[in-house]
Structure 1
Amino acid sequence: MLIAADQIWIDGGLQAGHAIETDGEVVTACRPLGGDTPDAYVPLLMSGCTDLQVNGGGGTLLNTDPTVAGIETIAAAHRKLGTARILPTLITDAPEVMEAAADAIIAAKGRPGIMGIHLEGPHIAPEKRGTHDTRFIRLLDDRTLAVLRRLRQADVPVLLTLAPERANPVLLREAAAMGVVLSAGHSMATAAEARTALDNGVTMFTHLYNAMPQMNSREPGMIAAAILSDAWCGLITDGIHVSPEMLQVTLNARPRPDRCFIVSDSMPTIGGPDHFNLYGMDIHVRDGALVNSEGSLAGAHIDMITSIRRLVRMTGIAPDRAIAMATDIPCAAMGFAPLRIAPGMPLTDLVALDDGLRLIDIPGTEP
């Protein structure tokens, strides 16, 4: 089948006048359409998204189901919504839960879409815990380093979010030397402390603006240090966690505009029911937001394709920039090779969008 598109994501940009050939399971060619008559047409074809912060999906939360089956359920839920690759994310929990999640990720290595693991906590600032449970917050320690070492010895990519001001710099450098990607988040760090963290191996900031002190004229804090650095910065673009104006400020102010990427911070409600349980508390979707009984945001109720669409609508940036923020840039942040539309690519890694950047079926693959 020959499928033409107004625009196709090729080599990191949208190009017109191209088409793909497919045998119904994989892409067999991506080439200029020329004078050929296509069998089908879609407005836009792109590689599936890569999401570095996926707490859950399909009714499953990694914290409560740290198993291979649980991870596969989460990945499958997001794949149906246009996300081809994920880092299943474990938020602050007991040490034995972290160890179980590490075991499951090692066992799931190589399965479709499962790229590694994101440990978001437990080494965070209690003042900026958000929905994380205070009982499990602790300083970076040898027990976590042992988990990180085991994951890296199994060649599993690891992203670790922590409050850098609460971590021993020696341990930070030790984790970085293993190849763990360190991200500052859920932190009270000052601008100076954030810059010191960058010198000690931190290369990323987790869901910028959220769970960190807000910048002002006399206390620029971690946010300003992040924006002015060349580090990678994740952003939740649901319009709830960060206002459209602040998204615009961030995208316009960064010295490296290619260092911001989208994360969903999604929970089990994506592809699942409208509520779930975390730390014994019920979390519900309310007006598009996930809120716990304390009134704190508890992750996000959004997928990556919807995040792309909202980012374009809220900020006016070009669709190709938003697509890059959900595909190539998060891959680069973790050192992954980007997904490319090329011969051999499974159609399950391909995404079709309409003129409004809404997900549609790829012709020939409808159920």
Structure 2
Amino acid sequence: MRYFAEFLFNGFEIKKNQVITVESHKIVSVELGTPEQASILLAGLVTPGFVDVQVNGGGGKLFNNEPTIETLQAMSSAHQAFGTTAMLPTLITDNIETMKLAADTMSLALKQKVPGIVGIHFEGPHLSLPKKGIHPESHIRSISDEELALFKRKDLGIVCVTLAPENVPCSIITELVQAGVKVCLGHSNANAEQTTDAINAGAQGFTHLYNAMSALTSRAAGMVGVALLDNNTYCGLIVDHEHVDNISCKLAIKCKNSDRLMLVTDAMSHVGSDQKSLTFAGMDITRNGDKLTIDSGRLAGSALDMATAVRNTVNNLNIPLQQALQMASTTPAQFISLPNSKGRLSVGYDADWVVLTEDMRVLQTYIGGSQVYSANSENQQQNHKGELCKH
């Protein structure tokens, strides 16, 4: 199948008048061409599909509450409407039985090739009590052999684990990394030395930078200071204008650059649904606009989607569009070790892309060359020759 893109961001630069040829769900060529050379015309800016490494829920479903195939399907479908073509469904701190059930569900989802699901993110349970956020205190614990074996399973796709390095030995971090696990630091009160030791042991990233981690101060760099200074680790950033101040967001992007800074949603079940309230671990999480809180007023995840994160980054942080798109696609794909299949529109990559309007709204989403979302019902049928709109 051949597609014509009037404007195409390939992960590095924006090109005009590109013809994408897809065979067996993969891109086999991207070259200069004309609409007449393609059977399907893509009206807008075509960009690599967004990759979200921290997604707790969507479509009215929270992974913790219902760790089933149906939940993963609902989550993926909900986020496809906002341009996400690959995600790590994220399990918040829970008991070992729920963790095992979530892992078994992930294994089945990968076997069934549920669109958009590429692995699992265990956010906890080996966290710091002072920085627990809404993670249930009753389930925060030291790592055991049972959990270690769970994280090292080979049938879960990409496995990411967020942990507090002051509560997990560096030898365990190294063991996890050697087993192929992506170790992120977060929900932690670690000092700079403990954080640096964890990086030296192999930790590759930081979960939702600034939030639930020891801060940068004049006399103590904290986890935030080490994260900003280190050139090799990746940082997730929630750009919903609720979790992080705009100046702090700009500082993070300036320090880390767009090849190490990832846009993430930390989305709860509210995204892609009319859901106003949700009960998790005995807490009522309520949506007010785009802000989610529990009764105490504490933030409880987000109602953010990836397309909105891109718009916020461009419109409110004044970051160039190409950098924002890179942080939403190419960089997270690199972080989770999918650099040869996701995050770019180049030969050999999966045919996953998003078609955006000029104001960065999602028109269409494609996974493996097949349309999985269209903003307009009439566009559920693929656009044909002669129907191309100006970008």
Provide TM-score, normalisation by structure 1: 0.91
2:12 is matched with which residue?
Answer: 12
1:144 is matched with which residue?
Answer: 147
SS of 1:70's partner is helix
SS of 2:210's partner is coil
Q: What is the one-letter code of the residue matched to 1:44?
A: L
Q: What is the one-letter code of the residue matched to 1:51?
A: D
The RMSD of aligned alpha carbons is: 2.5
Question: Structure 2 regions of 5+ residues with no counterpart?
Answer: 365-373, 382-391
Q: What is the one-letter code of the residue matched to 2:143?
A: L
Alignment CA distance shift 1:219-1:11 (3 Å): closer
Q: Deviations over 1:8-36 (max 9, x none)?
A: 0225332223244789x997864313585
| 2:361 equivalent among 337, 358, 361 | 358
SS of 1:258's partner is coil
Aligned pairs for 1:212-231 (under 5 A) are 212-229=213-230, 230-231=232-233
SS of 1:268's partner is coil
SS of 1:202's partner is coil
2:50 is matched with which residue?
Answer: 49
Q: What is the one-letter code of the residue matched to 2:206?
A: F
CA–CA distance in 2 between the matches of 1:35 and 1:282?
A: 52
1:158 is matched with which residue?
Answer: 159
Aligned pairs for 1:62-211 (under 5 A) are 62-109=63-110, 110-149=113-152, 151-152=153-154, 154=155, 156-211=157-212
Give the Å deviation of 1:345: 8.0
Does the 8 A contact of 1:84 with 1:113 survive in 2? yes
SS of 2:125's partner is coil
SS of 1:8's partner is strand
SS of 2:267's partner is coil
Taking only the aligned residue pairs, the percentage that are identical comes to 33
Does the 8 A contact of 1:140 with 1:168 survive in 2? no
Q: Deviations over 1:235-272 (max 9, x none)?
A: 01111111111111111123x54111111100100112
Alignment CA distance shift 1:193-1:297 (3 Å): same
SS of 1:140's partner is coil
Give the Å deviation of 1:113: 1.1
Q: Which moved more, 1:211-220 or 1:123-132?
A: 211-220
Give the Å deviation of 1:340: 4.0
Q: What is the one-letter code of the residue matched to 2:291?
A: A
CA–CA distance in 2 between the matches of 1:55 and 1:76?
A: 14
Alignment CA distance shift 1:299-1:312 (3 Å): same
- Pairing 1:313–2:327 present: no
Alignment CA distance shift 1:174-1:28 (3 Å): closer
Q: What is the one-letter code of the residue matched to 2:73?
A: E
Give the Å deviation of 1:350: 2.5
CA–CA distance in 2 between the matches of 1:28 and 1:180?
A: 30
Q: Deviations over 1:261-288 (max 9, x none)?
A: 1111001001122221111222111131
Q: What is the one-letter code of the residue matched to 1:294?
A: S
CA–CA distance in 2 between the matches of 1:90 and 1:32?
A: 43
CA–CA distance in 2 between the matches of 1:344 and 1:168?
A: 39
Does the 8 A contact of 1:3 with 1:42 survive in 2? no
CA–CA distance in 1 between the matches of 2:222 and 2:94?
A: 27
SS of 2:296's partner is coil
- Pairing 1:244–2:246 present: yes
Q: What is the one-letter code of the residue matched to 2:253?
A: L
CA–CA distance in 1 between the matches of 2:156 and 2:282?
A: 34
| 1:277 equivalent among 268, 276, 279 | 279
2:335 is matched with which residue?
Answer: 333
Q: Deviations over 1:72-103 (max 9, x none)?
A: 22111111221001100000011111111011
Provide TM-score, normalisation by structure 2: 0.86
Does the 8 A contact of 1:258 with 1:329 survive in 2? yes
Does the 8 A contact of 1:27 with 1:346 survive in 2? yes
Q: What is the one-letter code of the residue matched to 1:185?
A: G
Question: Structure 1 regions of 5+ residues with no counterpart?
Answer: none
Q: Which moved more, 1:187-196 or 1:278-287?
A: 278-287
Aligned pairs, number: 362
